[in-house]
Structures are given as structure tokens and as C-alpha cells.
Amino acid sequence: MSQFYLVAPSGYCINQQAAARGVERLQQAGHEVAHQQVIPRRQQRFAGTEHERLADINQLAKLPGRNRIVLAVRGGYGASRLLPHIDWQGLVARQQRDPLLICGHSDFTAIQSGLLAMGNVITFSGPMLAGNFGAETLDPFTEHHFWQALRQRNSPSNGRAKGRTAGWKAPCGGEIWRC
């Protein structure tokens, strides 16, 4: 049994039925789903006030338990507004001491990128509660590869790309984001 811990640093959950379906699916599969109070929370277009959403992220540094899966409820907009106030040191220290498996995509990528930039913390770009686990029909490919990615200790890639380039070259570099 895994322990899921929900966070909602972005937009409010428009599709409450999908979120409830996602929670039910995870629970029926034998998993615990904590911090569900973030699902109905709403302040304008966001999943709560900035203080509430920031507290959700910062409390991850002190979250008890081992091998928890932190799962974003949904994306949207709002996570980037929290970046200057996130306790990056606390989160990085937690990840070094007792890593959380952090998963989401879309707007949540801003927080994931911050963790990578501030402490070389690896997170998972993967399914979220409402849009993926709460879909009317759970995609078996998504479910299979989600669990496979979390359970494997090494990347399945050999680090080499194959194929043709588009035929043009452009310089790439620079900072994407900095605290």
C-alpha cells in the first residue's frame, strides 16, 4: 500500500467528480489518500489562498512518513506565484534525508523545476489526480508506466537518442528560472 499526499498549488479543481473518482480509484487499489481537503478549496481561480497553497508545499519538508507519493490535484495557473516564498532549503533537506516521490505536470512543473534548480531534486512528470486518475476511463498505459517509473531505481533509457534532426541548429543555454 502506498500513501498519497495531495497538493493543490495551482488552479481550483473544476471537475470535483473527477477528483473524487481519482481518490476512490486509489483507495480501491489499497492506497491511502491524505490531505483531501485541498480538493474543494477555492479562492477566485486558485485552489485556495496563496498562503494556503504555499503552506501545502512548504509543509512537505516536515511531512511525516516514508515513501509517500506527493500528487498534484491539477495544473492550471498559480504555482509560479508561490516560487519566491517556497522553503527550498527545507524541501531539499527533506529530499536528501527521506525522499518523497513528487508527481505532476502542467503548472506544477514550475515547482518541480525549482526543486531541480535549488537542490538537484528529481521529481516525476506524470499523472495528476483529477485529469488522469480521475478520468472516466483510467488509461492502462498511464497507470502501468506510472507505477513502473516509481518502482524502478534506474532510468529505462540508455541515454542515447536515435533519429534525424530537423536540419537546423540553434544555440541553447541560459537560466530558465532562478531563486
Q: Which pLDDT score, from 0 to 100, does residue 65 have?
A: 84
Q: Which pLDDT score, from 0 to 100, does residue 179 have?
A: 38
Sheet containing 3-7, strands listed edge to edge, beginning at the edge strand earlier in sequence: 32-34, 3-7, 68-72, 101-104, 124-125
What cell does 177 get? 528560472
Q: Which pLDDT score, from 0 to 100, does residue 149 have?
A: 86
Q: Which pLDDT score, from 0 to 100, does residue 177 have?
A: 42
pTM of the model: 0.85
Domains and CATH numbers, the chain: 3-151 (3.40.50.10740)
What cell does 110 get? 514550475
Pairing of strands 101-104, 124-125: parallel
Task: Show pLDDT as tens, one digit a residue, over the chain (179 residues).
Answer: 899 999 999 999 999 999 999 999 999 999 999 999 999 999 999 999 999 999 999 999 999 988 799 999 999 999 999 999 999 999 999 999 999 999 999 999 999 999 999 999 999 999 999 999 999 999 999 999 999 988 886 654 444 555 555 555 555 554 444 43
Contact 33, 27 (CB under 8 A): yes
CA-nearest of 115, 71, 117 to 94 is 115
CA-nearest of 139, 133, 126 to 15 is 133
Please state, in angstroms and rounded to a whole number, the distance separating the CA atoms of residues 39 and 52: 12
Q: Which pLDDT score, from 0 to 100, does residue 128 have?
A: 98
Q: Which pLDDT score, from 0 to 100, does residue 71 have?
A: 98
Q: Which pLDDT score, from 0 to 100, does residue 151 have?
A: 83
Cβ partners under 8 Å of residue 24, min gap 6: none
